[in-house]
Amino acid sequence: MTVGSQPVLAIAAGVGALSGTHAAIWGMYKDAIHEGFAMRRFARSVCVGALAAVAIQAVLGLPLPQAPAMALLFGLAYGTERGIVEVWKTFIRHEDQSKYTIPMQFSVRAVPVASRRVRLAAGLGYVAIVAICLLAISALPHRHDGFASILRTCLVGLVVGAITAFGGAWKDAPTEGFDRLKFCRSPVMTVAFALLLTRMTDSYFLVAVAVIGYERATAETYKTFFFPSRPRGKFAGKPIRFPEMVRHRRLAVPVYVAICCWVLAVGAVALRATSASGNAVANDATGARP
C-alpha cells in the first residue's frame, strides 16, 4: 500500500470499528445481565470489524470517503464480522452449554454435538454452501433493464434471507418452536436492503454480503431495544446473575444511538447522491467486482 492510501485505510478502519461497536453493544446489552461484562468479548467485535473493513478496502479500493462507499463498507464489514464470529462460536469454540437455554454450539434437535471433528466438518459444509450461494449470486448479470433488474435484486435478497432464516430456525426451532413470522422476517428485510444497496454498487456479490450486515443490525436493534425486558432466546428462563448490569449497560445506549444516526445520515446522503448522478457514483463504488 502506498503512503497516500493510509488515510483511506484509516477511514475504512473507523467505519469497520463503528460496525463492530454496534454489534458489540447489542450483544452486551442483552447478555451482560446473565453472564457479566467482559472487555475481551466486547472488543472482539470492534477489532474484527475494523480489520475486516481494512481488508475489504485494500481489496476493493472503494472511493472513500464518498457516502455510497461508506454505506456499502459499513454493511460489508458488519456482514463479514458477523459471519466470522458466528462461525467461530457455532462450529469452533468449545464451552459449557448448560448456561444457555438454546445451545450456541452446533446442535442437532437442541442437543449440542460433542465431537469437535463433526462440528468442524459441519462448519466446513456450512461455509461451502454459503460460498456456493454467493458465487452463484456474483454470476448474475447486473444490468439496468427495468423489471428484470428488480427481480434479480429481489432474488439476491431472498437467497441471503433464506440462508439467515434457515440457520436461525435450525438453532432456535427445536426449543422455541417454528415461528412463521420470525422465519419470514429476515427474507423481507434482506430484499428491502438489497433494493437499496444495488444503487450503490454494480456487484451483486457485494450487495449480498452487505445485506447480511444490515439485516443483522436491524433485526438485533429491534429485538434488543424495542423489547429490552424480554431475554434473548438463548437465556430464556435463566436468572439475572448480574443485576448491576441493568444500570451499567445504559451507558452504551447514547453511543449506539449515535452510530445508528450516523448510518441513517450516510445512507440518506448516499441514496441522494446515486439518484442525482444516475447511479454513476454507485458504479464507481466497487473498485473490483468479485
pLDDT value of residue 175: 81
d(CA 283, CA 274): 9
pLDDT tens-digit series, residues 193-230? 999 999 999 899 999 999 999 999 999 999 888 877 77
pLDDT value of residue 285: 47
pLDDT value of residue 142: 77
Q: Choose among 239, 212, 223, 237: nearest CA to 74.
A: 212
CB-based burial label for 237 (10 Å; 0-12, 13-18, 19+): exposed
CB of 48 closer than 8 Å to CB of 40 = no
Q: How far is CA 44 from CA 19, 39, 175, 193, 232, in A?
A: 12, 8, 28, 26, 20
pLDDT tens-digit series, residues 35-59? 999 999 999 999 999 999 999 999 9
35-44 contact pairs (CB < 8 A, 24+):
35/99, 35/241, 35/242, 36/241, 36/242, 36/245, 37/242, 37/245, 37/248, 37/249, 44/85
Q: Cell match 481489496: residue?
A: 59
Neighbours of 33 (CB within 10 A): 22
pLDDT value of residue 279: 52
Per-residue HEC secondary structure of 181-215 comes to: HHHHHHHHHHHHHHHHHCCCCCCHHHHHHHHHHHH
Buried b (16+ CB within 10 A) or exposed e, 36-63: ebeeeebebbbebbbbbbbbbbeebebe
CA dihedral 161, 126, 128, 85 (to 10 degrees): 80
d(CA 8, CA 18): 15
CB-based burial label for 288 (10 Å; 0-12, 13-18, 19+): exposed
178-185 contact pairs (CB < 8 A, 24+):
185/219
CB of 224 closer than 8 Å to CB of 29 = yes
pLDDT value of residue 1: 43
CB of 287 closer than 8 Å to CB of 63 = yes
Query: pLDDT below 70 — which residues of the chain?
Result: 1-4, 231-232, 277-290
CB of 77 closer than 8 Å to CB of 56 = yes
d(CA 157, CA 142): 14
CB neighbours of 52 closer than 8 A, spacing ≥ 6?
A: 16, 76, 77, 80, 81, 84
d(CA 91, CA 103): 12
